Structure 1
Amino acid sequence: MTKEKVPIDSVLPELKTALAASRSAVLVAAPGAGKTTRVPLAVLDETWLRGQKIILLEPRRLAARSSANFMARSLGESVGETVGYRVKQDTKVGPRTRLEVVTEGVLTRMLQSDPALEGIGLVIFDEFHERSLNADLGLALCLQAQALLREDLKLLVMSATIEAEPVAGLLGNAPIIRSEGRSFPVETVYRPKPAGAYLDEVVSNAVIDALRAHDGDVLVFLPGIGEIRSTEGRLRSKLAGTPWSDAKICTLYGGMSAEAQDRALAPLTDGSRKVVLSTSVAETSLTVEGVTVVIDSGLMRVSRFSPRTGMSRLETIAVSTASADQRRGRAGRLMAGTCYRLWSREEQDGLAARTVPEILEADLAPLLLELAVWGAGDPSELDWLDAPPVPAIQQARELLVQLGALKGESATPHGKRIAELGKHPRVAHMLIRAQAIGLGDLACELAPLLGERDIVRSSAGQAPNADVRVRLEALRGQGPYASAVDDFVRRRLSEETRRTRRELGESADRGEKPETPDDCGLLLAFAYPDRIGRKRDNGKYLLSGGRGAAFGPGQPLAHEEWIVAADVDDAGADSRIRLAAAVIFDRLAAVMPEELAAETHLYWDGESKSVRGRVRKKLGAILLEETPLHKPPADRVLRTLLEGIRTEGLDLLPWTKAARQLQERTVFARRHDETWPDLSDAALLASLESWLGGYAESMKSRGDLQRLNMKDLLENLLTWEQRRSLDADAPTHWTVPTGSRIPIDYSDIDAPAVAVRLQELFGLPETPRIAGGRVPLTLHLLSPAQRPVQVTRDLASFWSNAYFEVRKDLKGRYPKHYWPDNPLEAEATRRAKPPGK
């Protein structure tokens, strides 16, 4: 091991002690401290490791390869001996390897194949502050493995900028070790980008100024490959004819070959200057030899997932303060340096402290499937630093169920096969389904395009043809866009196609069967069953997932009846379709019958006052055909009829006066004794199934309901004793002194009333009472012409007070009628004259 001292060396004894005494630890070490390459080797021979392996997790393939090579060289060995690495598409390990540097997806596969991680004594999570989705998943799975299967498994989380306390708490109050870094002074220069200026122009000017003012090489941070390419072209033009025309321009991003990345990192030996145009891949873990100047665009590109639409989109956002500081530190790793920030001091103050963890904004379908395969279909079963958002989990679950990867919370055999392929569930599902219909080879070609930024770029502000087929042609070196595809991108995607073919056992020979125009659309439908679109009358599309979508102007696919959209933004009411293919519906229906559904739709038709039924054939949210339902299921007809009654109200039923009076009498009785059933309108509507359902079977309209006898139905809700008691306590009529039976009105349960001519009450001294004498009747006293003259609940008071004024009035209007001076001694009469005259 190299004898060169690095800052991390001073805390290695403390770290070793902590790991010997605890199952977990957190190491916070500033950039340049040497944690990535020093810590794993320092603990490799600790007694508690007992000869087991160490897994060092790196968030990026480039950092994994670079750090493995550095550690191997420090031991005087080649990679694959004591130190090896496993990354996607590249593995170098041997039988003597005890330290494996892996990327996060590789750790997930290791855990799924061996949850106990037998033979591994320590898992180190490096640069954990980046909070990638796979890092959070890997840590959650390791914590559960540690708790349930491997008490001796140790975990170490390392970072330069993370808040250590929450992580230590997640690890069971693990000890925190801190180390200072080794860096040289870095001067910060703010150069705000002029309004309206192109980024490649601003960056190129800054590079020229940096080469003029400083020695050493220049590292430029840009948000993505597109900006790297445009800046590279602009910079080459500007350097021509300058003293730095021989400067070597290198690019550095995750999709490059290992050899190209190594060339960008290696120092030049011919004395010329180097300019490295990089994405955030160079932000941490790497040292780009010779760099003394950093030019930071202040931008980064992230994928944002919208649970509302089920779609992801790439967004260019401002870096966080933590990322900006990491980038700035690249200039001071080897000597004093300078950092040009292409924003203002005021903008610096407005930056977010940290980048939002990916788990809070990403498409969680891959994570949920991995959890289901692990045996934890509910994410809440695991411990997280930030729990996955419920809406995104729900969206992911719906997609995985639609793909046949989940049943409930468990992974299906198909889902396990999808997970084994290590690709997004949409793409893996497409590959598996494509093989079954003889399109596996074409699917292997298409798959890399679905995980890639568009290989065909816009020109002169005009969006490229959205048809995915032109991109396949371009990858094959054919068609109008062949020359627009970067040679390296073509080679890389072609290699990925070959590797996928090997994984699936597919041949590159398409045989005698030629491709049909809708083959790509069919394959996209497997991957995106929620984005099958049918053209609407307005020229836009309704997607099977329920979202609206539209092509931009001049797109040939806009004339197709059926399409499948692979790339759509989720802005506005109608998403813009950026990548799609046409598909023939009949062929789609033949190979994806599971996506077609026949819905029996019963509903209450308010106009005809009847239950109507329709059969709707649908593909997701897309209505294909609707026909009348002739023999609907009786139970559903009844449910719909009862819902219709609830919608319309009880007046839809054939009420008679007797039925209403029985209802009101019972409601009145319940007012004074809660043992009576509740027959109020609200209660009857709420309990239609119990009292009406058995009598309304085979009925489906208001006309049918007229056959019901409402009085009998309500009486059936009373016991025999209640019926007898009801006649006594809440009688239907009251007999007045003349012998007339006057109906009692119970519509106001607080004041049951009778309307009776005043003359029929002569001789009655007190107000009659019901409910066992508890409730006086309200008397509406009428004139001989049946007009109301007085309302009272105290008849005795009326006779002694109000009667004499009423008598004067009535005697003047009805002089031929009998109006005695003393009504209590008079005989009640129905006639104009007193009895006997």
Structure 2
Amino acid sequence: MYTDLPIQAVIPELQQCFREQDTGVLIAEPGAGKTTVVPLAMLEEPWLDGKKIIMLEPRRLAARSAASRMAAALGEKTGQTVGYRVRMDTQVSPSTRIEVVTEGVLTRMLQQDQGLEDTAMIIFDEFHERHLHGDLGLALALESRAMLRPDLKLLVMSATLDPAPVSSLLGEDTCVVHCAGRTFPVETRYVPKPAAVDLESWTARIIIRALTEEQGDILVFLPGAREIHRTERQLVQASLPAQVNVHTLYGSMAAEKQDEAIRPAAEGWRKVVLSTSIAESSLTLPGVKVVVDAGQSRAASFSARTGMSRLVTLPVSKASADQRRGRAGRIAPGVCYRLWSEEAHGALPDAARPEIASADLAPLALELAAWGVQSPAELNWLDIPPDAAYAQAQALLRQLGGLDDAGRITPLGRRMNTLGVHPRLASMLLRSAELGLASYASTLAALLQEPAGLRSSSASAGGAGVDLRPRVEALLAAGSSGMPHAASADGAAVRRMLQESRQLCSVLGGPAADPVRPDEDSCGLLLSFAYPDRIAQRREDGRYLLSSGRGVRLGAIESLSRSAYLVAAEADDQGADARILLAAPLQEQTVLRAAQHLLHEEMQVAWDRTTRSVRAHQMQRMGALIIKESPAAQPPEEQVLEALLTGIRLEGLDILPWSKTSRQLADRMRFLHKHWPDWPDLIEDHLTDELAEQLMPYVAGMRSAADLKRLSMHDVLLGGLSWTQRQQLDEEAPTHIQVPSGSRIPVDYSNSEDPVLAVRLQEMFGQQETPRIAGGRVPVTLHLLSPAQRPVQVTRDLANFWRETYFEVKKDLKGRYPKHYWPDNPLEAIATNRAKPRTS
């Protein structure tokens, strides 16, 4: 057993805590030994009562390693008292009392037995990493405690987590225990990468420098497998010191290769381990005294807007950087080379963003539905899943057939949830079995789960481009010819994919060979079951439109470029049109067969601005895609009417047949509304709701601008007025005003602010005041005309005109029109519409 680790100092406190309470938080600094000591320390506690302890580890390598170290401490082999369960690898027996499991495994165990009746305690290790399934596992465990197992003990362990939020989540009686770590001083050296040098070259340069300057093994943190292999090639080409081995370490490597990377170096040898963040915590790498940190990590970022995930490379958080640096101080003083500046370090975020805030939530939504929960708000979370991403996840699951319209899990959804793969792939696998293509689909699923870099190189035929079919065929060929013997990363990837394929096919109960022979359309057909939202239709310009509405494109001209339909299994989700990375073609008849449940008939009735008419089409749609379209003979009249009114809105009121009389009526109504706000707002410069409602009875049965010419807008406008309003209109906005000469002169209302009466000056003799309308509120503007109908004066104050201006105007008019009547006193003169008044 471990006797010299710092965690031993707090074990009695932790044991006493769980004798009295059921929940706890342990904050143990790096190097304390919590992962291996705490589960063993709980083995003989009386409350265990013959039941198991389950410890959750975020990563498979850490789970296997922790189980191996605990078993060794007991002098046993893994699978006896201590075992593990990880994807595609299980080492347990009836005597196993501590099971170290990965996150997805814990969730499935809870789904199979919500009370976990054979389990006394669940330990959540390295909880600060905040993986999605860790948050989900804790939420389900808390629900199990609340509903079924109040005695179930929960312990959350971390090196860097703030204990307050999680202890509050666990309950007010939660005990919090702190433990200092055992780390030696680590000198931090900032060696920022020059802008002109690529990451791999600079990393290799610093590794060689560290091998020269320092003693001990070197652990190097890089963002992903691609950068690891590039750096490995740089080191192979460089002049490394003698007796130095270079190892790689990342999640998708074969287990034996991972074990080799973390095994102590041979006597007299040094090792360089090029790793992703997999080695950041929970792993013990004996001999490491130097860390070289590139300061980056790679994670999937999900967009609820597009329904796509893409891998992004981001700077690490300060907490992660400190975790990495601490790996150099486990056995002796060490050195950490950081490939960024001290100023840049100050700008790093304090902690990484929880995965639940940016991940694809489809797996979580299916898990919750299987648990019996339709809304995440029904459970307790450290961070509740975002609403938009969760709604998008539920929409996808409905498309896949995993949820019904009410958000409840379907029988198909329950089967999907047992396969241990993403719901997309689960849907594809289950449907493939019905078609006799289980083996082919299992191979395709295994390929799609592989990291992109290895997937494209290890299982593809030359020149495959984005076409998935050659990759699947190459992987099938590798399987039929026996396991590949290549020791390269590519060979390991192929072996791993073949193992995954066989396991999936076995779960489906399928034979070694498919009863149905796959054809060139099989790949696209199967992909459509997994990616119904990414069925793509070719546009005229060669780009594609996804059924989700997202635009995508092929990066170059290739074999798929002329395909009318594709299924885009992967796209980069960047720019206006995402670049397709992996796809397979579909025939239209296959689309109709594969996605029958997603097709719906739709009548589209819309205004066509080209023909200036209502056009009706019967369409068969799949999301944003129009699969088939034909003219509709008898569209619903209400839709035709709405489309016609939309056309009037688009074209403007000039599309209506305005006569001089109807325009004057419209102007009069507009005038009254301007000056009397309670007057109906029936006519404006556009189609108002009131006018649209008034038009409806008159345009029923019409479909085009030509049909509208049959309208009488005068009748339409009057039809919107009551008898009282018509009387008021005639009184307060008269069409004509009778002037002293006896003539009825029309009023021009085209300017609702300033109605105009254009009348010859002689016809106004004898009228002292300006005529007024709108109940006397508004004086008309008089355009006083010469005998030749030309304006000689514009006024709204007739009395002032007679008094101040008439005599000047008279002189001018008398000179130009000497035969006309120009009296000295216009107020006492006889008004006339002739040259001179009639004499009796």
TM over 0.5: yes
Whether 1:489 and 2:486 are equivalent positions in the alignment is no
Q: Secondary structure at the match of 1:823?
A: coil
Q: Does the aligned pair in 2 maintain the 1:45–1:51 contact within 8 Å?
A: no
Aligned counterpart, 2:815: 812
Alignment size in residue pairs: 830
Structure 2 CA distance for partners of 1:800 and 1:57, relative to 1, 3 Å? same
Q: How does 1:636-785 map to 2 (within 5 A)?
A: 636-671=639-674, 673-681=676-684, 685-785=688-788
Equivalent residue letter for 1:467: D
Deviations 1:181-212 (A, max 9, x none): 11122344555567766766666666666566
Q: Does the aligned pair in 1 maintain the 2:657–2:708 contact within 8 Å?
A: yes
Distance 1:202 1:735 in 2: 97
Q: CA deviation at 1:180?
A: 1.5
Q: CA deviation at 1:69?
A: 3.8
Structure 2 CA distance for partners of 1:49 and 1:765, relative to 1, 3 Å? farther
Q: Does the aligned pair in 1 maintain the 2:780–2:796 contact within 8 Å?
A: yes
TM-score, length basis structure 2: 0.87
Whether 1:223 and 2:223 are equivalent positions in the alignment is yes
Q: Which moved more, 1:190-199 or 1:730-739?
A: 190-199
Aligned counterpart, 2:365: 368
Distance 1:387 1:184 in 2: 38
Equivalent residue letter for 1:333: R
Deviations 1:457-480 (A, max 9, x none): 399xx9764432332343345599
Structure 2 CA distance for partners of 1:77 and 1:657, relative to 1, 3 Å? same
Q: How does 1:191-590 map to 2 (within 5 A)?
A: 216-229=216-229, 243-244=242-243, 250-267=247-264, 273-307=270-304, 309-343=306-340, 345=342, 348-349=345-346, 351-379=348-376, 382=379, 384-389=381-386, 392-393=389-390, 395-408=392-405, 410-413=407-410, 414-453=412-451, 454-457=454-457, 465-478=465-478, 486-511=490-515, 513-534=516-537, 541-551=544-554, 555-558=558-561, 560=563, 562-590=565-593
Distance 1:703 1:456 in 2: 60
Q: CA deviation at 1:496?
A: 1.2
Structure 2 CA distance for partners of 1:804 and 1:59, relative to 1, 3 Å? same
Q: CA deviation at 1:705?
A: 2.0
Q: 2:799 aligns with which of 796, 800, 823?
A: 796
Aligned counterpart, 1:609: 612
Distance 1:188 1:727 in 2: 93
Distance 1:675 1:801 in 2: 39
Q: CA deviation at 1:448?
A: 0.7
Q: CA deviation at 1:525?
A: 2.5
Equivalent residue letter for 2:104: G
Q: CA deviation at 1:801?
A: 2.8
Equivalent residue letter for 2:450: E
Q: Which moved more, 1:491-500 or 1:616-625?
A: 616-625
Q: CA deviation at 1:704?
A: 1.7
Q: CA deviation at 1:428?
A: 1.1
Structure 2 CA distance for partners of 1:84 and 1:719, relative to 1, 3 Å? same
Q: Secondary structure at the match of 1:447?
A: helix
Q: CA deviation at 1:221?
A: 3.2
Distance 1:302 1:650 in 2: 56
Percentage identity across paired residues of the two chains: 54
Distance 1:463 1:184 in 2: 52
Q: CA deviation at 1:620?
A: 4.9
Q: CA deviation at 1:642?
A: 0.4
Whether 1:89 and 2:107 are equivalent positions in the alignment is no
Distance 1:662 1:509 in 2: 82
Equivalent residue letter for 1:321: K
Q: CA deviation at 1:435?
A: 1.8
Equivalent residue letter for 1:440: A
Q: Does the aligned pair in 2 maintain the 1:650–1:685 contact within 8 Å?
A: no
Structure 2 CA distance for partners of 1:380 and 1:736, relative to 1, 3 Å? farther
Q: Secondary structure at the match of 1:426?
A: helix
Q: Does the aligned pair in 2 maintain the 1:298–1:319 contact within 8 Å?
A: yes
Unpaired segments ≥5 residues, structure 1: none
Unpaired segments ≥5 residues, structure 2: none
Distance 1:587 1:726 in 2: 66
Structure 2 CA distance for partners of 1:561 and 1:812, relative to 1, 3 Å? same
Q: Which moved more, 1:733-742 or 1:633-642?
A: 733-742
Q: CA deviation at 1:443?
A: 0.3
Q: Does the aligned pair in 2 maintain the 1:456–1:485 contact within 8 Å?
A: no
> For the aligned residues, what is the CA RMSD?
3.9
Distance 1:540 1:257 in 2: 39
Deviations 1:107-148 (A, max 9, x none): 322344455555656543221221212223333444555566
Q: Does the aligned pair in 1 maintain the 2:652–2:686 contact within 8 Å?
A: no
Q: CA deviation at 1:821?
A: 1.9
Q: Secondary structure at the match of 2:826?
A: coil
Q: CA deviation at 1:754?
A: 2.5
Equivalent residue letter for 1:829: T
Q: Does the aligned pair in 2 maintain the 1:444–1:500 contact within 8 Å?
A: yes
Q: Does the aligned pair in 2 maintain the 1:58–1:101 contact within 8 Å?
A: yes
Q: Does the aligned pair in 2 maintain the 1:565–1:580 contact within 8 Å?
A: yes
Q: Does the aligned pair in 2 maintain the 1:120–1:153 contact within 8 Å?
A: yes
Equivalent residue letter for 2:103: E
